């Protein structure tokens, strides 16, 4: 009488892996119980390979080298994102509260300097600015080096807030053009801090995020610096900044995700006629590396999210200063109305294309600031009857929202309305900068500059 050889199998039981040799006699439940795998729970299921097996399956029916998996049907599936989040939260410890405190310190310092310029005496202003600047540099270095211990928004917002607070604190009060100079200094400081983050961070999403912050801050510094050189008022610089926000947001996807033309097709093989006499045929970039492409897309996505948040914040901060309570001149009034409408329509319709829910509400929040600023200007213009007018406008908005909410809640879609929204968004984006020039009194400023 010959004895069947034992079956060598691998058993996966939760986080345990057992490589065992089971005798060919008996059932699978008896053999697993002998090695410490109990099958008493009725919620357990056995899988041999990718097929379900009964506990009474003879061991002799198993193939040598089979994989037996014990599955608990009541167990929750593992979520890798949740596990990573728990590891990050566990690793933060007492660091995150300190960063939140520094962020609050920078925000409060900047607001106090703008609201109460003479709060600090001339003796204490330089030390306060130096401390804020040192804190900004230290947090920028830590944000660029540490990867898993802080929330993404906190790592970028804290050094930016501290740098802006240091910049507006160091600008002396009472100078001509102090507001414009403070904005230039703050934006330039944030840009330099962003460049430091680019130099310190490893290649990837964080370097792209710091680069986006540096680019937006450098653009704001250049715009306000130009208005400072031309001796234009802060209202003109704020209007131009607000008008540039819809244009920049619309151009972000194409500007951040750059792909070599050679990736689209083999031009050297399929191109028969060149599009110009001196046009160079795009070279073949070689084989496509999936990991490299994925890293490029992740970095571009991180830069787009960061730039969108920064631009929305810049627009929300610039709009109140861009729309004066009592604009003078028909062109300035028309430009101010057009600027508010273009900003509001452009950002509201732009939010439709955002695939990140949180980012969508950031853009809508910036558009809500435009609505509030517009209502404030209307109330200041109409005088005593402003309450009735504002109430009527809000009632119209409420009725329109109620009418639209019913079909949207039922899943209604309209290609015609979607294309109409695209057209309106494009028109609002194109007209935002010309409207900003009119709102800033650009014609009168240019006439004054030319006439000397």
What would the pLDDT profile of 194-236 be if each residue is shown by its tens digit? 777 777 777 788 788 888 888 998 888 888 888 877 778 888 8
Range of the domain at 28: 7-72
Residue 196 lies in a domain: no
Counting the structural domains of the chain, the total is: 1
The residues, any chain, with a CB within 8 Å of residue 71's CB and separated by 6 or more, are 44, 45, 46, 47
Residue 283 lies in a domain: no
Residue 31 lies in a domain: yes
CB 414: neighbour CB atoms within 10 A?
10
In this predicted model, what pLDDT tens digit does every residue of 323-354 receive, in sequence order? 887 777 778 888 888 888 889 888 888 887 77
Residue 53 lies in a domain: yes
Query: In CATH, what number is assigned to the domain containing residue 25?
Result: 3.10.20.90
Query: Cα(first)–Cα(last) distance of the chain, in Å?
Result: 117
Comparing CA positions, the residue from 126, 199, 191, 202 lying closest to residue 160 is 191
- pLDDT string in tens for the chain (452-residue length): 456 677 777 777 766 777 777 777 777 777 777 766 766 666 677 777 767 777 777 777 777 777 777 776 655 555 555 555 555 555 445 577 787 888 888 878 777 766 666 666 667 777 777 888 788 888 877 776 655 566 767 777 788 788 877 777 766 555 445 677 777 777 887 887 777 777 777 778 878 888 888 899 888 888 888 887 777 888 888 889 999 999 999 988 888 877 777 676 666 666 666 666 566 666 777 777 777 778 888 888 888 888 899 999 999 988 888 888 777 777 888 888 888 888 988 888 888 777 777 888 888 888 888 888 887 777 776 666 666 666 676 777 667 666 666 666 566 666 777 788 788 888 888 888 888 888 888 777 667 666 65
Residue 231 lies in a domain: no
Cα–Cα distance, 375 to 369 (Å, whole number): 10
Residue 40 lies in a domain: yes
Residues forming a β-bridge with 51: 48
Cα–Cα distance, 179 to 186 (Å, whole number): 11
The distance from CA 188 to its chain's CA centroid, rounded to whole angstroms, is: 21
For 43, the token pair is 């919620």
Residue 43 lies in a domain: yes
Residue 64 lies in a domain: yes
Answer whether 5's CB lies under 8 Å from 62's CB. no
Whole-structure pTM value: 0.65
Backbone angles phi, psi at 11, to 5 degrees: -115, 125
Cα–Cα distance, 27 to 35 (Å, whole number): 13
For 123, the token pair is 């003796």
């Amino acid at each position: 009488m010959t004895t069947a050889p034992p079956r060598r199998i691998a058993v996966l039981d939760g986080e345990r892996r057992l490589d065992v040799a089971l005798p060919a006699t008996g059932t699978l439940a008896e053999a697993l119980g002998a090695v410490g795998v109990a099958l008493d729970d009725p919620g357990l299921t056995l899988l041999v390979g990718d097929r379900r097996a009964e506990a009474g399956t003879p061991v002799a029916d198993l193939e040598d080298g089979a994989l037996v998996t014990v599955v608990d049907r009541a167990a929750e599936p593992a979520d890798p994102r949740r596990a990573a989040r728990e590891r990050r939260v566990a690793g933060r410890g007492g660091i995150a509260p300190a960063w939140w405190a520094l962020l609050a310190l920078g925000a409060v310092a900047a607001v106090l300097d703008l609201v109460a310029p003479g709060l600090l005496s001339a003796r204490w202003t330089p030390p306060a600015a130096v401390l804020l600047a040192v804190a900004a540099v230290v947090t920028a270095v830590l944000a660029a080096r540490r990867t898993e211990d802080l929330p993404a928004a906190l790592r970028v917002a804290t050094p930016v807030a501290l740098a802006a607070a240091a910049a507006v604190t160091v600008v002396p009060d009472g100078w001509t053009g102090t507001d414009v100079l403070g904005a230039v200094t703050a934006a330039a400081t944030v840009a330099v801090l962003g460049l430091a983050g680019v130099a310190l961070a490893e290649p990837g999403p964080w370097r792209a995020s710091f680069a986006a912050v540096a680019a937006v801050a450098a653009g704001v510094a250049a715009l306000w610096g130009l208005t400072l050189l031309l001796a234009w008022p802060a209202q003109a610089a704020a209007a131009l900044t607000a008008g540039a926000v819809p244009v920049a947001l619309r151009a972000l996807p194409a500007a951040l995700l750059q792909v070599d033309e050679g990736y689209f097709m083999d031009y050297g093989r399929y191109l028969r006629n060149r599009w110009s006499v001196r046009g160079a045929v795009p070279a073949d970039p070689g084989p496509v590396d999936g990991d490299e492409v994925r890293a490029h897309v992740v970095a571009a996505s991180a830069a787009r999210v960061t730039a969108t948040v920064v631009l929305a914040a810049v627009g929300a901060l610039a709009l109140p200063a861009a729309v004066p309570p009592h604009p003078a001149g028909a062109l300035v009034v028309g430009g101010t109305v057009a600027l508010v409408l273009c900003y509001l329509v452009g950002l509201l319709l732009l939010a439709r294309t955002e695939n990140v829910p949180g980012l969508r509400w950031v853009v809508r929040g910036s558009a809500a600031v435009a609505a509030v600023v517009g209502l404030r200007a209307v109330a200041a213009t109409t005088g005593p009857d402003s309450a009735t007018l504002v109430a009527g406008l809000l009632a119209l908005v409420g009725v329109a929202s109620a009418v639209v909410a019913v079909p949207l809640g039922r899943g209604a879609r309209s290609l015609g309305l979607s294309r109409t929204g695209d057209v309106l968004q494009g028109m609002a984006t194109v007209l935002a900068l010309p409207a900003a020039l009119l709102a800033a009194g650009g014609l009168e400023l240019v006439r004054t500059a030319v006439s000397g």
